[in-house]
Structure 1
Amino acid sequence: MRDSIAEILDQQVPGATLEWIKVADVPRYLTGGRPQPDDEGHMIITRAGIALPFALSVISLGRKLEILQGAFSWVAVRLDQPGNRKDQV
Protein backbone atom coordinates (compact mmCIF):
# COMPACT_ATOMS: atom_id res chain seq x y z
CA MET A 1 0.00 0.00 0.00
CA ARG A 2 2.73 2.46 0.96
CA ASP A 3 4.63 1.89 -2.29
CA SER A 4 1.46 2.34 -4.36
CA ILE A 5 0.55 5.60 -2.65
CA ALA A 6 4.14 6.91 -2.94
CA GLU A 7 4.09 6.11 -6.67
CA ILE A 8 0.74 7.88 -7.16
CA LEU A 9 2.01 10.98 -5.34
CA ASP A 10 5.19 11.03 -7.45
CA GLN A 11 3.12 10.75 -10.64
CA GLN A 12 1.04 13.75 -9.57
CA VAL A 13 4.03 15.82 -8.38
CA PRO A 14 7.39 14.51 -9.61
CA GLY A 15 9.86 14.28 -6.74
CA ALA A 16 7.18 14.10 -4.04
CA THR A 17 8.34 12.17 -0.99
CA LEU A 18 5.94 10.29 1.27
CA GLU A 19 7.23 10.88 4.81
CA TRP A 20 4.70 8.88 6.82
CA ILE A 21 1.31 7.28 6.49
CA LYS A 22 -1.20 6.39 9.20
CA VAL A 23 -4.26 4.17 8.95
CA ALA A 24 -7.13 6.45 9.97
CA ASP A 25 -9.99 3.97 10.40
CA VAL A 26 -10.90 0.29 10.19
CA PRO A 27 -10.10 -1.21 6.76
CA ARG A 28 -13.05 -2.59 4.79
CA TYR A 29 -12.61 -5.92 3.01
CA LEU A 30 -14.71 -7.68 0.41
CA THR A 31 -14.24 -11.09 -1.18
CA GLY A 32 -16.32 -13.01 -3.65
CA GLY A 33 -16.19 -16.45 -5.10
CA ARG A 34 -17.98 -19.54 -6.22
CA PRO A 35 -18.61 -22.88 -4.53
CA GLN A 36 -15.78 -25.37 -4.86
CA PRO A 37 -16.98 -28.42 -6.81
CA ASP A 38 -17.35 -31.58 -4.71
CA ASP A 39 -16.36 -29.77 -1.50
CA GLU A 40 -19.43 -28.49 0.28
CA GLY A 41 -18.86 -25.45 2.44
CA HIS A 42 -15.69 -24.24 0.70
CA MET A 43 -15.29 -21.51 -1.90
CA ILE A 44 -12.88 -20.66 -4.66
CA ILE A 45 -12.05 -16.97 -4.18
CA THR A 46 -12.40 -15.17 -7.51
CA ARG A 47 -12.26 -11.50 -6.46
CA ALA A 48 -11.16 -9.44 -3.50
CA GLY A 49 -10.87 -5.81 -2.49
CA ILE A 50 -9.88 -3.51 0.33
CA ALA A 51 -10.52 0.13 1.17
CA LEU A 52 -8.27 1.74 3.76
CA PRO A 53 -8.76 5.32 5.02
CA PHE A 54 -5.46 7.07 5.72
CA ALA A 55 -3.66 10.31 6.56
CA LEU A 56 -0.19 11.03 5.23
CA SER A 57 2.59 13.56 5.12
CA VAL A 58 4.14 14.45 1.76
CA ILE A 59 6.82 16.95 0.79
CA SER A 60 8.29 17.93 -2.56
CA LEU A 61 10.94 20.33 -3.80
CA GLY A 62 9.87 23.95 -3.61
CA ARG A 63 6.68 23.15 -1.70
CA LYS A 64 5.77 23.02 1.95
CA LEU A 65 4.97 19.83 3.83
CA GLU A 66 1.34 18.79 3.35
CA ILE A 67 -0.88 16.55 5.47
CA LEU A 68 -3.43 14.78 3.26
CA GLN A 69 -6.30 12.41 3.91
CA GLY A 70 -7.78 9.87 1.57
CA ALA A 71 -8.71 6.26 1.02
CA PHE A 72 -6.54 3.62 -0.62
CA SER A 73 -8.45 1.00 -2.55
CA TRP A 74 -7.27 -2.18 -4.25
CA VAL A 75 -9.41 -4.62 -6.20
CA ALA A 76 -8.37 -7.85 -7.92
CA VAL A 77 -10.50 -10.08 -10.14
CA ARG A 78 -9.97 -13.48 -11.74
CA LEU A 79 -7.95 -14.66 -8.73
CA ASP A 80 -8.80 -18.20 -9.76
CA GLN A 81 -7.10 -17.62 -13.14
CA PRO A 82 -3.47 -16.69 -12.36
CA GLY A 83 -2.58 -15.88 -15.97
CA ASN A 84 -5.64 -13.62 -16.37
CA ARG A 85 -5.64 -11.87 -12.99
CA LYS A 86 -6.34 -8.14 -13.08
CA ASP A 87 -5.56 -5.69 -10.26
CA GLN A 88 -6.54 -2.05 -9.92
CA VAL A 89 -5.45 0.54 -7.35
Structure 2
Amino acid sequence: MQSILTLLVITFLSISAMAEPTKNESSVEVSGFDCADKSAHMIEWLGLGKDYRSFVVSDVEKELSKQQPGSQLLKLECTGEPELLTGALPQEKDESKAILTRFSATFPLLATVNLSGSIWVLNIDQNYYIENLNIPGERKLTQNFTVKGSDKQ
Protein backbone atom coordinates (compact mmCIF):
# COMPACT_ATOMS: atom_id res chain seq x y z
CA MET A 1 0.00 0.00 0.00
CA GLN A 2 2.79 2.40 0.89
CA SER A 3 4.58 1.67 -2.41
CA ILE A 4 1.40 2.51 -4.36
CA LEU A 5 1.04 5.76 -2.43
CA THR A 6 4.71 6.60 -3.09
CA LEU A 7 4.24 5.83 -6.79
CA LEU A 8 1.17 8.09 -6.93
CA VAL A 9 3.04 10.96 -5.24
CA ILE A 10 6.02 10.59 -7.61
CA THR A 11 3.66 10.45 -10.62
CA PHE A 12 1.78 13.54 -9.42
CA LEU A 13 5.05 15.44 -8.91
CA SER A 14 6.27 14.41 -12.37
CA ILE A 15 3.02 15.55 -14.01
CA SER A 16 3.10 18.84 -12.09
CA ALA A 17 6.68 19.51 -13.19
CA MET A 18 5.73 18.91 -16.83
CA ALA A 19 2.59 21.06 -16.68
CA GLU A 20 4.19 24.25 -15.37
CA PRO A 21 6.85 25.89 -17.54
CA THR A 22 9.99 27.09 -15.83
CA LYS A 23 10.87 30.77 -15.77
CA ASN A 24 13.56 30.17 -18.39
CA GLU A 25 11.14 28.70 -20.92
CA SER A 26 9.63 31.12 -23.38
CA SER A 27 6.03 30.77 -24.52
CA VAL A 28 6.70 32.77 -27.67
CA GLU A 29 5.81 31.04 -30.93
CA VAL A 30 8.82 31.48 -33.23
CA SER A 31 8.75 30.89 -36.99
CA GLY A 32 10.42 31.79 -40.28
CA PHE A 33 14.00 31.98 -39.02
CA ASP A 34 15.18 29.05 -41.16
CA CYS A 35 15.94 31.45 -44.00
CA ALA A 36 18.81 32.89 -41.94
CA ASP A 37 20.48 29.53 -41.26
CA LYS A 38 22.76 29.83 -44.30
CA SER A 39 24.10 33.12 -42.86
CA ALA A 40 24.47 31.87 -39.27
CA HIS A 41 28.29 31.84 -39.54
CA MET A 42 28.20 35.57 -40.29
CA ILE A 43 25.58 36.39 -37.64
CA GLU A 44 28.03 34.92 -35.09
CA TRP A 45 30.32 37.92 -35.79
CA LEU A 46 27.94 39.93 -33.58
CA GLY A 47 29.39 38.09 -30.59
CA LEU A 48 25.96 37.21 -29.17
CA GLY A 49 26.26 33.45 -29.61
CA LYS A 50 25.31 30.83 -32.17
CA ASP A 51 21.59 30.68 -31.35
CA TYR A 52 20.45 33.83 -33.13
CA ARG A 53 16.77 32.85 -32.76
CA SER A 54 17.07 33.04 -28.97
CA PHE A 55 18.90 36.36 -28.79
CA VAL A 56 16.59 38.02 -31.34
CA VAL A 57 13.48 36.87 -29.43
CA SER A 58 14.99 37.94 -26.10
CA ASP A 59 16.04 41.35 -27.43
CA VAL A 60 12.60 42.02 -28.96
CA GLU A 61 10.93 41.02 -25.68
CA LYS A 62 13.21 43.37 -23.72
CA GLU A 63 12.57 46.28 -26.09
CA LEU A 64 8.80 45.78 -26.05
CA SER A 65 8.82 45.61 -22.25
CA LYS A 66 10.95 48.76 -22.07
CA GLN A 67 8.61 50.68 -24.38
CA GLN A 68 5.34 49.23 -23.07
CA PRO A 69 5.66 47.69 -19.58
CA GLY A 70 3.39 44.67 -19.21
CA SER A 71 3.41 43.82 -22.90
CA GLN A 72 3.69 40.14 -23.78
CA LEU A 73 5.28 38.85 -26.97
CA LEU A 74 3.10 35.98 -28.24
CA LYS A 75 4.59 35.28 -31.65
CA LEU A 76 7.67 36.37 -33.58
CA GLU A 77 7.94 35.62 -37.28
CA CYS A 78 10.97 36.36 -39.41
CA THR A 79 9.46 37.41 -42.75
CA GLY A 80 12.56 37.20 -44.93
CA GLU A 81 16.29 36.74 -45.02
CA PRO A 82 18.16 39.15 -42.79
CA GLU A 83 19.88 42.01 -44.57
CA LEU A 84 23.62 41.60 -43.99
CA LEU A 85 26.04 44.43 -44.68
CA THR A 86 29.80 44.51 -44.17
CA GLY A 87 32.43 47.21 -44.12
CA ALA A 88 36.12 46.63 -44.66
CA LEU A 89 39.44 48.38 -45.04
CA PRO A 90 41.92 47.36 -47.73
CA GLN A 91 45.12 45.81 -46.43
CA GLU A 92 48.08 48.12 -46.80
CA LYS A 93 50.36 45.60 -48.51
CA ASP A 94 47.73 43.94 -50.71
CA GLU A 95 44.73 46.05 -51.74
CA SER A 96 43.04 42.96 -53.21
CA LYS A 97 42.49 41.80 -49.61
CA ALA A 98 40.50 43.55 -46.91
CA ILE A 99 40.03 43.48 -43.15
CA LEU A 100 36.46 43.31 -41.87
CA THR A 101 35.79 46.36 -39.68
CA ARG A 102 32.00 46.49 -39.28
CA PHE A 103 28.95 44.30 -39.77
CA SER A 104 25.22 44.85 -39.70
CA ALA A 105 22.38 42.31 -39.57
CA THR A 106 18.75 43.42 -39.86
CA PHE A 107 15.97 40.91 -39.24
CA PRO A 108 12.55 41.74 -40.79
CA LEU A 109 9.97 40.61 -38.22
CA LEU A 110 6.27 40.44 -37.48
CA ALA A 111 5.57 40.46 -33.74
CA THR A 112 2.22 39.57 -32.27
CA VAL A 113 1.94 41.34 -28.92
CA ASN A 114 -0.64 41.28 -26.12
CA LEU A 115 -0.91 44.73 -24.61
CA SER A 116 -3.40 44.90 -21.75
CA GLY A 117 -5.73 42.47 -23.49
CA SER A 118 -5.45 44.04 -26.95
CA ILE A 119 -3.59 42.10 -29.62
CA TRP A 120 -1.30 44.05 -31.95
CA VAL A 121 0.83 42.90 -34.88
CA LEU A 122 3.96 45.00 -35.29
CA ASN A 123 6.15 45.15 -38.39
CA ILE A 124 9.67 45.44 -36.94
CA ASP A 125 13.25 45.71 -38.14
CA GLN A 126 15.58 44.36 -35.44
CA ASN A 127 19.06 45.56 -36.33
CA TYR A 128 22.45 44.73 -34.86
CA TYR A 129 25.46 46.82 -35.82
CA ILE A 130 28.97 45.97 -34.65
CA GLU A 131 31.98 48.13 -35.39
CA ASN A 132 35.71 48.06 -34.68
CA LEU A 133 35.88 44.34 -35.48
CA ASN A 134 39.51 44.85 -36.44
CA ILE A 135 40.52 46.34 -33.06
CA PRO A 136 40.77 43.83 -30.21
CA GLY A 137 38.92 45.03 -27.12
CA GLU A 138 37.29 47.95 -28.96
CA ARG A 139 34.27 46.22 -30.48
CA LYS A 140 31.04 48.15 -30.07
CA LEU A 141 27.61 46.59 -30.60
CA THR A 142 24.51 48.73 -31.13
CA GLN A 143 20.94 47.44 -31.37
CA ASN A 144 18.24 49.31 -33.25
CA PHE A 145 14.58 48.38 -32.78
CA THR A 146 12.38 50.02 -35.43
CA VAL A 147 8.61 49.61 -35.59
CA LYS A 148 7.66 50.25 -39.21
CA GLY A 149 3.94 49.64 -38.83
CA SER A 150 1.24 48.23 -36.56
CA ASP A 151 -2.22 46.73 -36.84
CA LYS A 152 -4.68 46.12 -34.01
CA GLN A 153 -6.33 42.71 -34.30
Give yes or no for TM over 0.5. Answer: yes
Identity of aligned residues (%): 27
What pairs with 1:2-21 in structure 2 (closer than 5 Å)? 2-21=57-76
Name the structure where helix makes up a greater proportion of residues: 2
| Deviation sequence 1:6-57 (CA, Å, 0-9, x none) | 1110001112221221111232110111234657754321100012211011
Q: Which moved more, 1:3-12 or 1:36-45?
A: 36-45
- Give the one of 113, 117, 127 matched to 1:58: 113
Larger Rg: 2
Q: Aligned residue for 2:126? A: 72
| CA distance in 2: counterparts of 1:82 and 1:16, whole angstroms | 38
Q: Which moved more, 1:3-12 or 1:40-49?
A: 40-49
Structure with higher RCO (Cα < 8 A, 6+ apart)? 1
Q: Any gaps of 5 or more consecutive residues in structure 1?
A: none
TM-score (norm 1): 0.81
Q: Aligned residue for 2:89? A: 34
TM-score (norm 2): 0.51
| CA distance in 1: counterparts of 2:57 and 2:125, whole angstroms | 12
Coordinate RMSD, CA, aligned? 1.9
Q: Any gaps of 5 or more consecutive residues in structure 2?
A: 1-55, 144-153
Shift of 1:76: 0.7
| CA distance in 1: counterparts of 2:72 and 2:94, whole angstroms | 49
1:84 is paired with a residue whose SS is: coil
- Match for 1:80: what amino acid? N
Name the structure where strand makes up a greater proportion of residues: 1
How has the CA–CA distance of structure 1 residues 82 and 10 changed in structure 2, closer, same or farther, with 3 Å as cutoff? farther
